[in-house]
Structure 1
């Protein structure tokens, strides 16, 4: 049973300060994985790891679908994208257009992931408030309202950052060394996956493919796979960083600031420290029983 708030006004202010400070410290500790004073265990990082793992799997699955789509519709791409260039030439605009189309398809899933994580983090903060302010429904209510407002604010800021990230991804850029490394790796993987051919057959095949439009498109596919691998790795890291920064770190800092500002409103001190009726009655009953037991003990000692 929680102790009753002091009757003295000055002591009540310090009591409220201690309560709120313990809560805000726990909110900050929640973002760093430190032990919480409220005694409950809230492993927010387990939830984040699970959600960000799903995001990474979505990127991988999207890449696989992208590759299969190109391979399946290679002739369609030939008819759709090829301009007046001769066989063996790859139009960079074709490459760029196809990359941009694929990147655009990832934007809304990233925003949805933001909202899912935002909702999960909000629930954890509310659970923390309920554990920290047991018996004080008004403090829980105020904390919930502030958590909700902060969640909306930070979610909006995070969404703006995510959409800016995707706008930058449409530039289509990578360091030369990074791209060359990815391209070499993709070509090596393709060679390992290809069936073993005799040297003569391999030479004949190479000669035929070098004069065939399909060879050009095969090369284009390799470039697309190489670049997507780089872009998806950027997004696999950057999207979780933005979400975690805004929805966890920044939200906890904002919550600490808002709750400490609330304490300065001394006019509502009684409202903040108004206890739940049941808890007050139970405490009064327990205190009454304790007095009777102490009185009985005194009689027994004197007897």
Structure 2
């Protein structure tokens, strides 16, 4: 594919392909899908022959599964030199194969090679030989290392970069051939494994699916094309490649032409027919350059297929030969990149923004030196204490504000108290059975007192339940502060949570004791005379003065007197219980917790207190790597827009 084959290509083609290659080199495909061409086909469909013809480099071939790992093939046309150079890389290994006579001129769009992009450090090996067919054994060795010797597959990517004057500017990914029946040594689900691997690539909207189909098979039953149709039912991003036209049965030529002309299974990007080296030509070691001429002669001399040939100046309009296919694929890929680039740029910007924000929670870690680490510990504990005290005073606001929840529970308590108010006029407690030693017509204060004591005693159980509910709410909020302040430090988290539980247990016992004392005090019926008189007047709608009350001391009036006093009890308990619980369970807990946590500084084992979970360290590392990848990608895209758009 020399000279005129590429003379018409615009100088802007290489920059787009180089940009995507560069983004893939920094690993951005781990974060989002990149525009690419994925090559799929059934076993023995001729995939390897097509790729060999495009690259000029021999690839592993044979029966069964030959491609056992995704193989990214980067083809770069260079000028000013001769022959070729290939670079094979995977994991952290890099092998260069160089023809001794290879002296390349500048690669198009070399501005992208600015050296600023972070790439993995490779263990480099270098070989010099003039025969590109020797690359095959190294690709096979790489597959054996990744997928194991035998017939297994692996989803790790192998990259083969080929630079030569005789290749097109193109990047594509070769995927394992579709297998139906496992052979000896293969797992029973090998077919399913291969399909899952293929689907990872072809289901992405950013992928152009290059489907290789032999002419001598029924295209409608070809599994590769069926898979492509499943993810691309309209055929908008699928390209069909018809191989082995020399093996078709006589009389089926017109049927094949109908396929090529998009009359059978229409594809938006159409079909191209190619004739690559057969096994006999490979055995005879016929060079790829000579095979290209043999291919052209085949179509030129074919009664039916000669009209598929393109002219040298209009390769993109043809429907046959590797040269025509190379041009079409390059155009398709570059058009696809151009279309995807604005969205890709926006995705990278958004993901970088999100990663930077997420990293804020993990970025700050303790200094490595002991003095710095201790100062970091002091600041961390002080920040925790400030937030705890802010929480207890109601200054710290959150989505589920503590005092909003507490007030809601206290309102339930007040509503319950109001629901226990009753009319005592028909109460059996005022019946004759409660009469004392007094003569008929005399009052008995003990009756009044016993009725109230029995009624108030029923409030103790819900009062204790209120305490337990408030305790749970407070513990939840305190624990949230612990998780926020000590997110990365499990020892501090566990220590603080233990202290919260211990302090709350002690404070709960203390508060329960105070509540019990409160109810014991309520047994001593008492309130200020003006308070009692005010409520009594409100209940009876009368105006009694203190000197009139002795005339009010009649059993028939006890119901009003009981209601008046119970109203005082309700008002007193409605405020007293919440204030008591808040004081012991929240305010004192916050003070005790702050003191206990600061006491950790006395003789502290700093490294133990600031020990980070391995998961936290891993998360921070992952986020930093993502940030670096995305930053490098954004830098490359920005530079590309500046230089070429």
TM-score bracket, shorter-length normalisation? 0.7 to 0.9
Structure 2 distance, partners of 1:42, 1:161, is 29
Maintained 8 Å contact 1:130/1:140: yes
Deviation at 1:238, TM superposition (A): 0.7
Deviation at 1:283, TM superposition (A): 2.4
Alignment partner, residue 405 of structure 2:
47
Structure 2 distance, partners of 1:133, 1:16, is 10
Moved more, 254-263 or 103-112: 103-112
Maintained 8 Å contact 2:430/2:447: no
Alignment of structure 1 residues 177-216 onto 2, 5 Å: 177-188=530-541, 216=554
1:292/1:174 CA distance change after superposition, 3 Å: closer
Question: What RMSD, in angstroms, separates the aligned Cα atoms of the two structures?
Answer: 2.7
The answer to whether the aligner puts 1:71 opposite 2:425 as a matched pair is yes
Alignment of structure 1 residues 237-276 onto 2, 5 Å: 237-267=575-605, 269-276=606-613
1:285/1:53 CA distance change after superposition, 3 Å: closer
Deviation at 1:77, TM superposition (A): 3.0
Deviation at 1:265, TM superposition (A): 3.4
- Helix, strand or coil at the partner of 2:541: helix
1:288/1:97 CA distance change after superposition, 3 Å: closer
Structure 2 distance, partners of 1:183, 1:216, is 14
Structure 1 distance, partners of 2:485, 2:425, is 57
Higher helix share: 1
Alignment of structure 1 residues 1-303 onto 2, 5 Å: 1=359, 2=362, 3-35=364-396, 40-64=398-422, 67=423, 70-74=424-428, 77-86=430-439, 88-188=441-541, 216-267=554-605, 269-287=606-624
Unaligned runs of 5+ in 2: 1-358, 543-552, 640-645
1:291/1:61 CA distance change after superposition, 3 Å: closer
Structure 1 distance, partners of 2:620, 2:578, is 46
1:132/1:41 CA distance change after superposition, 3 Å: farther
Unaligned runs of 5+ in 1: 190-214
- Helix, strand or coil at the partner of 1:274: coil
Deviation at 1:183, TM superposition (A): 1.2
Deviation at 1:277, TM superposition (A): 1.1
Deviation at 1:71, TM superposition (A): 3.5
Moved more, 146-155 or 83-92: 83-92
Structure 2 distance, partners of 1:183, 1:151, is 41
1:139/1:99 CA distance change after superposition, 3 Å: same
Structure 2 distance, partners of 1:169, 1:160, is 14
Deviation at 1:141, TM superposition (A): 1.0
1:295/1:61 CA distance change after superposition, 3 Å: closer
1:132/1:90 CA distance change after superposition, 3 Å: same
Deviation at 1:41, TM superposition (A): 4.5
Asked which structure has the greater RCO (Cα within 8 Å, sep 6+), the reply is 1
Structure 2 distance, partners of 1:158, 1:295, is 59
Q: How many residues align?
A: 268
Deviation at 1:46, TM superposition (A): 0.6
Maintained 8 Å contact 1:129/1:140: yes
Deviation at 1:217, TM superposition (A): 4.0
Structure 2 distance, partners of 1:21, 1:282, is 26
Deviation at 1:263, TM superposition (A): 2.3
Structure 1 distance, partners of 2:531, 2:451, is 20
Structure 2 distance, partners of 1:104, 1:91, is 21
Higher strand share: 2
1:21/1:62 CA distance change after superposition, 3 Å: same
Structure 2 distance, partners of 1:277, 1:12, is 18
Structure 1 distance, partners of 2:419, 2:622, is 62
Structure 2 distance, partners of 1:295, 1:94, is 87
Structure 2 distance, partners of 1:236, 1:218, is 29
TM-score, normalized by length of structure 1?
Answer: 0.80
- Helix, strand or coil at the partner of 2:503: helix
